[in-house]
Chain A
């Protein structure tokens, strides 16, 4: 019962934080510098790891698909399988998981440290709402950068699959054939659905991590505990949201 109350409280305070940050949306043009800094942190610095992981996810997907399909003579469909899997599911989920582990943990650590050092209290005494200065630029940056990361993850994943499909002896499908099948069976809506999912996951992760950071009390040990909690809650949220959003979009 206590845990349920705690979950509902967390959900309520996260929603409140979102609405408060949203109410300051008009101040975003004045916070250009903070927005660009957050775009750099969320987008540019996450890009290499997204590229590496999506390449290998695409590659291993092609490998597994090739291995499983060789008995059915369905190898020519590897392109569409990798394409759809990356665009609809693995691209957005992987980007969100990386965002939680790499950016979300850093957000929680920074805000929790500010809270513990009374910097957040100092902001409030200056009548500078933390939701405006600390949350809004991060949310806006996630809104812009997460779909970009998801598109890059899709493209790199497709290429990873194409390379494996060509150079694996028991598959040996030329890239032209691979991409031709990929194009034939994929619709623009598949990519869009993936981007919508990525957007929802990205905003959820940033909000959860901001809220947990801003509600930290205590000292260094509590900061560590908050970071762990933020990552765990984010991962659970991504997978739970994934089911419900997929159900709506299908």
Chain B
């Protein structure tokens, strides 16, 4: 869903260069439950990095560290060289996050959801905000939803509104938590196309947490796989197509074996 060419782009991508992310020896545990253990990787400015892994492997927890919503047990996360947990980092670096549920403000219309950030931070006048909001809605083909409330939208629309809301922030770093979960294959492909086109148009650094193999193989610059609290694979989609590690191959290309089902093995 590319941006329409006849509309002036009100976003100032040139003034907001993409930022890099460094995850350094990150360990996180909740009580006695270890979620992340000595996880380290770097995301280059302007890159699409897809983090994959089984359910409950700590992908979303890692993403929450990047945006400063969780404090590490040890290690650190740097955004543009600054500690992600520091309040100043969020003031200086614009980090947009698309939550798995969308996390839209249910009491506000779609328009007001998008206008909230520029209104609160006085980044534009009301006509300027209107222009930015309508442009973001147009990019994602959501012009007709401006006056609707989130409860009136479908799952796919909510995800797109959440992306549009993040886009209005003119982010330097855009994080997606399971953007294609609970969507049909066509809508999943659409969301993948949106993520890739936003990166191309706005040169925003993108981290996507997902189970979606097709998304990772088609839009990622690099892919990481998180399993058993550690990163077990870090490489390009080309390397991922023919994985050498049997654990990675087993996760990405599982065979459905009706004669020897996995859940029976788990029980024993």
B33 touches A (CB below 8 Å): no
Instruction: State in angstroms the CA–CA spacing of A122 and B116 once bound together.
Output: 11
Q: Assuming the A-B contacts A117-B106, A121-B69, are A126 and B99 also in contact, with contact meaning beta carbons closer than 8 angstroms in the complex?
A: no
Q: Are A125 and B95 in contact (CB under 8 A)?
A: yes
Q: Which residues of A contact B117 (CB under 8 A)?
A: 126, 128
Q: Assuming the A-B contacts A118-B101, A118-B103, A119-B106, are A125 and B67 also in contact, with contact meaning beta carbons closer than 8 angstroms in the complex?
A: yes
Q: Assuming the A-B contacts A124-B69, A125-B97, A127-B90, are A119 and B116 also in contact, with contact meaning beta carbons closer than 8 angstroms in the complex?
A: no
Q: Are B105 and A126 in contact (CB under 8 A)?
A: no
Rounded to whole Å, the gap between the CB of B252 and the closest CB of chain A is 28
Instruction: State in angstroms the CA–CA spacing of A127 and B92 once bound together.
Output: 10
Q: Are B120 and A126 in contact (CB under 8 A)?
A: yes
Q: Mark B59-89, 1 if CB is under 8 A from A, else 0.
A: 0000010011100000000000000000000
Q: Are A128 and B97 in contact (CB under 8 A)?
A: no
Q: Which of B91, B101, B103, B169 has the most CB of A within 10 A?
A: B103
Q: Are A127 and B91 in contact (CB under 8 A)?
A: yes
Q: Are B103 and A119 in contact (CB under 8 A)?
A: yes
B179 touches A (CB below 8 Å): no
Q: Please count how many residues in chain A sit with their CB below 8 Å of the partner chain's CB atoms.
A: 13
Q: Mark A121-161, 1 if CB is under 8 A from B, else 0.
A: 11011111000010000000000000000000000000000
Instruction: State in angstroms the CA–CA spacing of A133 and B196 once bound together.
Output: 33
Rounded to whole Å, the gap between the CB of B264 and the closest CB of chain A is 31
B244 touches A (CB below 8 Å): no
Instruction: State in angstroms the CA–CA spacing of A128 and B87 once bound together.
Output: 11
Q: Mark A96-138, 1 if CB is under 8 A from B, else 0.
A: 0000000000000000011001110110111110000100000
B121 touches A (CB below 8 Å): yes
What would 8 more interface pairs be, CB under 8 Å, given A117-B106, A118-B101, A126-B116? A114-B105, A119-B106, A121-B69, A122-B103, A122-B104, A125-B68, A125-B95, A128-B121
Q: Could you name 17 residue pairs across A and B whose Cβ atoms are closer than 8 Å?
A: A114-B105, A117-B101, A118-B99, A121-B99, A122-B97, A122-B99, A122-B104, A122-B105, A124-B69, A125-B69, A125-B90, A125-B97, A126-B117, A126-B120, A127-B90, A128-B117, A133-B120
Q: List the 4 closest pairs (A to B, CB-CB), nearest first.
A: A118-B103, A122-B103, A125-B97, A127-B90
